[in-house]
């Protein structure tokens, strides 16, 4: 019978090996290394408060699952009220793969419940994405890819229910031509655009989630003195998907102040950002939106961003 135990400091090579053996699973960044996992997972300040479980057959790693927690209300530390099963990977050649995956998932559920989690999210996705940004899912972890039927079935079988869908939208920037209309010209007259390379994090949780990446933030502010009314944060994603030119940029955050929405701010900010990204040699861009967000879908359509993949977020109430 496989043995399941918590992560130890000797296990990073085993985690890396499992990841590489699961190369056909949707959404995994490859190639990976122990150093990359150290930078993006093991070195995070709240890693000791999470729990990574590994399954072994003798000295051979079969898979792993990672349970963690989301941020507190002030985004200054974790809150054990909300748990996340960030990752569930079992090698395709593992005998009784479904049994091993079920045992790993059960270990995560019990760990999170024992530490006070009333709600557990299945699949890492903002705003609950404490780990695996840069390793899974593109610009940010999106949940469980719709094409990953094995993992979806495991969550369904463990009592989780789908709580929302994520659309992964992409487009090439090689043929990007910004549209100009009356609303765009009005936004240009009323605002000024500021570009910040390597911007400071806006809070502690953001620093933990995406602080390891090369970030650029675009901000729109009124021409009269005042704080930004809209902002866009993108990260360098390196090589793009095979069907798009590279390098790629991923949108990790888009914000428009509530009293400035439906005025063309987001469209103007994105078109100006795309123009600058083209000048920097970026060949494609990716963003993730909720399938229920009608406004975001309309904006993506207007900008030529097309749905390339879909993912599912799961949820369980304890």
What is the rounded CA–CA span in Å between residue 53 and residue 55? 7
The pLDDT assigned to 224 comes to 84
Structural domains of the chain, with CATH: 3-167 (3.40.630.30), 171-310 (3.40.630.30)
Q: List for the chain the helix, strand, coil content (%; round to 5).
A: 30, 35, 35
Tell me how far the alpha carbon of residue 32 is from its chain's centroid. Answer: 17
The pLDDT assigned to 292 comes to 97
Q: Among 177, 45, 158, 175, which Cα is nearest to 102's?
A: 158
The residues that bridge with 69 in the sheet, in sequence order, are 83
The pLDDT assigned to 225 comes to 84
User: Which residues neighbour 93 within 8 Å (Cβ) at sequence distance 6 or greater?
Assistant: 21
Number of Cβ within 10 Å of residue 246's Cβ equals: 16
Q: Supply the pTM of this predicted model.
A: 0.94
The pLDDT assigned to 182 comes to 87
DSSP string, 61-97: EEEEEEEEEEE-TTSSSEEEEEEEEEEEEE-TT-TTH
CA atoms within 13 A on the CB side of 236: 11
The pLDDT assigned to 240 comes to 66
The values of phi and psi at residue 99, to 5°, are -65, -45
pLDDT along the chain (318 residues), means of 10: 95 98 94 96 98 98 99 98 99 96 98 98 97 96 98 98 98 90 90 97 97 97 91 89 80 96 95 96 96 97 97 96
């Amino acid at each position: 019978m496989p043995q399941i135990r918590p992560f130890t400091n000797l296990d990073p090579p085993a985690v890396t090996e499992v990841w590489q053996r699961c190369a056909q699973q949707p959404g995994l960044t490859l190639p990976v290394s122990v150093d990359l996992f150290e930078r993006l997972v093991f070195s995070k300040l709240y890693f000791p408060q999470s729990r990574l479980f590994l399954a072994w057959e003798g000295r051979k790693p079969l898979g792993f699952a990672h349970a963690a927690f989301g941020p507190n209300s002030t985004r200054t530390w974790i809150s054990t009220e909300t748990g996340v099963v960030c990752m569930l990977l079992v090698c395709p050649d593992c005998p009784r793969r479904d049994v091993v995956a079920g045992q790993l998932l059960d270990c995560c559920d019990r760990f999170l419940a024992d530490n006070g989690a009333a709600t557990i999210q299945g699949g890492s996705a903002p705003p609950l994405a404490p780990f695996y940004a840069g390793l899974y899912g593109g610009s940010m972890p999106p949940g469980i890819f719709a094409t990953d039927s094995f993992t979806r079935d495991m969550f369904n079988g463990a009592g989780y229910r789908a709580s929302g869908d994520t659309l992964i939208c992409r487009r090439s920037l090689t043929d990007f031509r910004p549209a100009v209309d009356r609303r765009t010209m009005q936004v240009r007259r009323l605002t000024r655009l500021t570009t910040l390379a390597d911007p400071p994090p806006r809070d502690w949780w953001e620093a933990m989630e995406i602080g390891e990446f090369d970030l650029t933030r675009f901000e729109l502010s009124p021409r009269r003195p005042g704080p930004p009314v809209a902002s866009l944060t993108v990260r360098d994603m390196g090589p793009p998907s095979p069907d798009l030119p590279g390098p790629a940029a991923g949108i990790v955050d888009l914000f428009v102040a509530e009293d400035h929405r439906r005025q063309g701010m987001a469209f103007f900010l994105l078109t100006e950002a795309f123009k600058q990204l083209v000048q920097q040699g970026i060949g494609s861009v990716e963003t993730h939106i909720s399938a229920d967000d009608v406004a975001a879908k309309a904006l993506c359509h207007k900008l030529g961003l097309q749905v390339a993949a879909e993912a599912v977020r799961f949820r369980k109430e304890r």
